[in-house]
Amino acid sequence: MKITVVISENLHAQAKAMAKKKGVTLSSLVVAGLEREIDRVKPVVFRGNGLTPDFDDASWEKTQHAIYH
C-alpha cells in the first residue's frame, strides 16, 4: 500500500542516511520502525480469561517487563 506521511526535513535526512548506512530502502526502514513500535505497545490484558497467548509460558521477568515498560 502506498501512503503519504509528512515529516520534517531533518527527520527525513536522518532516516535516509540511516537507511543508506544499513543498506536498506527508506520504505523498509519506516516499516520496520512502525512494526517495532506497534509490537512495543501491544497491551497485555487480563479480562478474566488469563493472559494473552503470548504469555502462556512466559517467565515472570517477561511478564513484568511487558507490564512496566
pLDDT for the residue 38: 87
Angle at 67 (CA atoms; ends 64, 68), nearest 5 degrees: 85
Domain ranges of the chain: 9-68
Task: Note down pLDDT in tens along the chain; length 69 residues.
Answer: 899 999 999 999 999 999 999 999 999 999 999 999 888 877 766 667 777 788 888 888 888 888 887
- Can you give the pTM of this predicted structure? 0.57
pLDDT for the residue 44: 66
Alpha carbon separation from 1 to 4, 27, 44 (Å, rounded): 10, 11, 29
d(CA 23, CA 29): 10
pLDDT for the residue 46: 62
pLDDT for the residue 20: 97
- Please, where are the H alpha helices in the chain? 9-22, 26-40, 60-68
Residue type, 39: D
